[in-house]
Amino acid sequence: MRASLANGIEIEYDVHGDGEPLLLIMGLGGQLVAWPLEFVHRMVGCGFKVIRFDNRDIGLSTKIAAPVPNRRQLVAAVARRRWAHPPYLISDMADDTAGLLDHLGVASAHVVGVSMGGMIAQALTIGHPERVSSLTSIMSNTGDRTHGRVHPRLLSRLARLVSGPPDDAIANNVEILRLISGPHFDLGETRRLVEEEYGRNYDPDGGSRQTMAIIASPDRTWDLRRVTVPTLVIHGLLDRLVMPSGGVATTKAIPGSRLLMYPDMAHDLPRPRWDEIIDEIVTNTRRAESGGSTTERAAV
């Protein structure tokens, strides 16, 4: 299904179930199919209408007609935000998300975002607070460049794979996911996902522009202090793509938020932890119903 937004962007989406709206926002370069259907169906079984979608510049949503940033431009933008010249920011992607809710006639939804999707979820909560019933930010950060950075050793290995020849795209993307995942990495399942995304729509240029949007977007820490909806923050202690300090900083920024850190999770959603993660998301949505908000921090 496709939504035509007021800003001219078209967003590809699908909907599963019939209950309280729960919006899943995928991360950098990830298409809606990166949310496993089994995970989605479990959320449906908990009483939610689950909405997945392709962010702009990825999958079947609108591709932005803008130059692709090269490595030199990305490095310069990392050094100084003022040297970044992005065609859009994380806040623009959050506006797309609000527009999708408008299209669906959803006044507010429980919002769950992973990685860049967590950044978009935070920006949606800041810019459109009335649209968010509860917030779950997973393996993300606040945009504060001192917390939740990429481990330097991982960065150099990823750079070589990202710039690899197009003919090796499937193998390189599988290897990228292996490098950022934890001990529960499943090679066969990962290869099936990458092949599905590749067959559905393969366009690495959008991922490069999304990367620039992440780098160029301002720090959200101060604005997150105004967030009042029940918030759950989940992070893996093994995460080297967004190091665990990103989750800690997010929790410190949002009053009353709860932090869960898993010792066997990296930059992934490990299947053995799905039951616990889903239970925690559901519990956070129930806090919205009860109006409760208590600060908790836990390591599992």
- The CATH number of whichever domain residue 287 belongs to comes to 3.40.50.1820
- Domain extent, residue 163, equals 2-299
Q: Which residues contact 4 (CB under 8 A, 6 or more apart)?
A: 10, 103
Q: Which residues contact 292 (CB under 8 A, 6 or more apart)?
A: 230
Contact 124, 98 (CB under 8 A): yes
Residue 245 has pLDDT above 70, yes or no: yes
CA 285 vs CA 48, 59, 116, 244: distances in Å: 10, 29, 21, 24
Task: Outline where the chain has alpha helix (H).
Answer: 37-45, 71-79, 90-104, 116-127, 152-162, 169-180, 187-200, 204-216, 221-224, 245-253, 274-290
User: How many domains would you assign to the chain?
Assistant: 1
- CA-CA distance, 291 to 60, in Å (whole number)? 37
- Which pLDDT belongs to residue 294? 41
Q: Give the pLDDT confidence of 261-289 residue by residue, as tens digits.
A: 999 999 999 999 999 999 999 999 999 98
- Which pLDDT belongs to residue 295? 42
Helix (H, G, I), strand (E, B) or coil at 112: strand
In degrees and rounded to multiples of 5, residue 37 shows phi and psi of: -60, -35
- CA-CA distance, 161 to 107, in Å (whole number)? 41
Q: Give the pLDDT confidence of 127-181 residue by residue, as tens digits.
A: 999 999 999 999 999 999 999 999 988 988 887 787 666 778 899 999 999 999 9
Residue 298 has pLDDT above 60, yes or no: no
Q: Give the pLDDT confidence of 203-235 residue by residue, as tens digits.
A: 899 999 999 999 999 999 999 999 999 999 999
Q: Which residues contact 80 (CB under 8 A, 6 or more apart)?
A: none
- Which pLDDT belongs to residue 246? 98
Q: What is the band of 75 on the pLDDT scale with cuts at 50, 70, 90?
A: confident
- CA-CA distance, 211 to 89, in Å (whole number)? 10
The string of DSSP codes covering 184-208 is T--HHHHHHHHHHHHHH---HHHHH
- Which pLDDT belongs to residue 299? 47
Beta-strand relationship, 10-16 and 231-236 = unpaired
Predicted TM-score (pTM) of this structure: 0.95
Q: At what angle do helices 204-216 and 116-127 cross, to 10 degrees?
A: 50
Contact 145, 158 (CB under 8 A): no
**Side-chain-facing half-sphere of 169: CA atoms under 13 Å:** 13
* Number of other residues whose CB lies within 10 A of the CB of residue 130: 8
- Which pLDDT belongs to residue 292? 55
